[in-house]
Structure 1
Amino acid sequence: MPCPYGVDVAGCFREYNVAKMLNNPAGSAMHYFSLDSGTRADNCLHCDDCLNHCPQMIHISEDLKKVEEFFGKKYTYF
């Protein structure tokens, strides 16, 4: 189920996970900030409409906060 507010949940998590796995946060930040600005983690309204649709039972809005904090504070120069 896509986010009703346009957040690219899979794309945000993909870049965050790649940054952590490959220990290359700057490279992933470049890809993260190439996502349309309206689809990035900071656009999550924390409505939690997605919770009942996640097959992995991830608390998506909480994890999107981590993505936002990771890329937002460290890589504001992109």
Structure 2
Amino acid sequence: MEILLWLVPPAVVTVLAMLWVGWWGRDGRGEVDRETAVRRMGEALGREPRVRVVVRPQPRERSTGVAVRAPRDKRAS
């Protein structure tokens, strides 16, 4: 158990850094008044949805690494 004590300082520093970044980052968002938010939401809901066309290539026949001979014609023997 004593050998794990070396993990305590990095864990404390990590937690403090996460708390500091969380506190520091919250001021950057800014407040938007209710009317502006409602107007933006109405514009976003009124737009036509974007249609994405995904073209996927056809799957290739995978080789198993085993050679398979064509069946012999039994009448030719």
TM-score bin (small chain): under 0.3
| TM-score, length basis structure 2 | 0.23
Choose 1 or 2 for highest CA Rg: 2
What TM-score does the superposition give when structure 1 sets the normalisation length?
0.22
